Amino acid sequence: MIVVTGGAGFIGSEFVRQWLATESSELVNIDKLTYSGNLENLASVSGNSRHHFVQADIVEQSVIEQLLHERQPRAIVHFAAESHVDRSIHAPADFIQTNICGTFRLLEAVRAWRGTASREFRFVHISTDEVFGSLPLKAAQISEAAAYAPGNPYAASKAAADHLVRAYIRTYDLPAVIVHCCNNYGPFQFPEKLIPLMIARGLAGESMPIYGDGLHERDWLHVSDAARAIGLVLARGRIGESYNIAAGHACSNLQMVCMLCDLLDELRPQSPYRPHRQLITHVAERPGHDRRYALNADKIAQELGWRPQISLREGLRQTVEWYLGNQAWLENVVSGRYRQWIADNYGWRNIRS
Ligand SMILES: NC(=O)c1ccc[n+]([C@@H]2O[C@H](COP(=O)([O-])OP(=O)(O)OC[C@H]3O[C@@H](n4cnc5c(N)ncnc54)[C@H](O)[C@@H]3O)[C@@H](O)[C@H]2O)c1
């Protein structure tokens, strides 16, 4: 039995689907179902008797503690977070509450419960490349030992959570491992993030807004490769260590949006919005916008044998095809109807909108 937090979100739901497909043990999925948590992401496993969904806030330490006592998990994989940088710029409070206080409460729940935990217990904390801040354009990729330099409230809240996990490792011998992940993309990503946002806007013939000159560079990893890496870290990562997860598929935001436009042109030959590149507009720069993230993932390759299997070209094509083939999912999310889907399928009425 393992516990996953945030398993109704983008990466968490991919991890849950992979886990149930490849492992034989049970999984308790704790998720508050904020705006980005969507049980429709888990529709394919809704009948799986090894998947136990619990709607709960990680800030509620007593609830989590009780759950740990009842379930006695052999691991916790902690995805739950407020995850969108733009939202953190406009309203940072939720990021402090969930990413910092929530992680703290979760750690305290584990500390209170650990007396009865098995010796194999692992806590895997999901962090981001953003905690290291912006890199110069030509600088070498950074290792896990790089100094923290978060540049926006989201990154700062994730950095604070990392520091808490590190402190619990040293102070309380928490058997934890941290992963720093680069930008993920793939199916079921909430359409506020760059790739699904641009696909959704391109489909609707709406402008595709790019911050500033669009030359900000990100490294893109397919979510299925990311979830597999996290599974390996859970299975064989060394306690107290951090592992970078990155594909080396770097490109600028502008290049990314151009690739998406070209795929939309190809896959939607009848679209009245072709060529989709005409929809690209440049808008005012985002405050505190980091120029470049670039992680070196040699450590996870050497120690755990992980390498990405999906090229950016193939992964992007699959992703655009997925959104084209799942426009009902996209429309449900954009319109907020997925809340009704949850109520209809789970009979719940208490879900926050
Ligand atoms: N998406 C990326 O590219 C990326 C890159 C690096 C790291 N990460 C990290 O990976 C993790 C997952 O990211 P994602 O993109 O899947 O995010 P997401 O926003 O899609 O999902 C977050 C999930 O956490 C849940 N949640 C939020 N607050 C909660 C709370 N207080 N209690 C319980 N559940 C709560 C939400 O309901 C949602 O299901 C996050 O920790 C994020 O910082 C993401």
Percent of the chain with pLDDT over 90: 89
pLDDT of residue 350: 45
Q: Which residues pair with 128 in a beta bridge?
A: 181
Residues in the chain: 353
pLDDT of residue 299: 98
- Which residue's C-alpha comes closest to atom 25 of ligand 1? 6
Looking only at the bridges linking them, the beta strands covering 217-222 and 250-252 are antiparallel
Average per-residue pLDDT for the chain = 94
pLDDT tens profile 292-334:
999 999 999 999 999 999 999 999 999 999 999 999 999 888 8
pLDDT band at 21 (very low <50, low <70, confident <90, very high): very high
Element at 218 (helix H, strand E): strand 217-222
| Residue 272 DSSP label | T
pLDDT of residue 353: 36
**Residue tagged active-site, from 129, 162, 217, 290:** 129
Q: Is 290 a catalytic residue?
A: no
pLDDT tens profile 54-77:
999 999 999 999 999 999 999 999
pLDDT of residue 111: 95
**Cα gap 231→77, rounded to integer Å:** 9
pLDDT of residue 138: 85
pLDDT over 70 at 349, yes or no: no
Q: Which residues pair with 281 in a beta bridge?
A: 209
Class of domain 2-185+220-249+291-310+336-346 (CATH, top level): alpha beta
Sequence-separated (6 or more) residues with CB below 8 Å from residue 47:
none
**Cα gap 14→8, rounded to integer Å:** 9
pLDDT over 90 at 115, yes or no: no
**Residue tagged active-site, from 40, 57, 65, 154:** 154
Q: Is 315 in the pocket of ligand 1 (CB under 6 A)?
A: no
pLDDT tens profile 168-210:
999 999 999 999 999 999 999 999 999 999 999 999 999 999 9
pLDDT tens profile 30-55:
999 999 999 999 999 989 999 999 99
pLDDT of residue 335: 84
**Cα gap 315→216, rounded to integer Å:** 21
pLDDT tens profile 128-178:
999 999 999 889 999 999 999 999 999 999 999 999 999 999 999 999 999
Å from CA of 192 to ligand 1 middle: 13
* 255, 329 Cβ separation under 8 angstroms: no
Instruction: Give the position, in ligand 1's atom list, of the atom nearest the Cα of 129.
Output: 6
Q: Is 206 a catalytic residue?
A: no
pLDDT band at 352 (very low <50, low <70, confident <90, very high): very low
pLDDT over 70 at 351, yes or no: no
Residue bearing the bigger pLDDT, 342 or 125: 125
Q: Is 168 a catalytic residue?
A: no
Q: Which long-range contacts (CB under 8 A, 24 or more apart) does 16-20 make?
A: 16/42, 16/45, 16/51, 17/42, 17/44, 17/45, 18/224, 18/227, 18/228, 18/231, 19/231, 20/45, 20/48, 20/50, 20/51
pLDDT over 70 at 348, yes or no: no
Interval 16-37 mean pLDDT: 96
pTM: 0.96
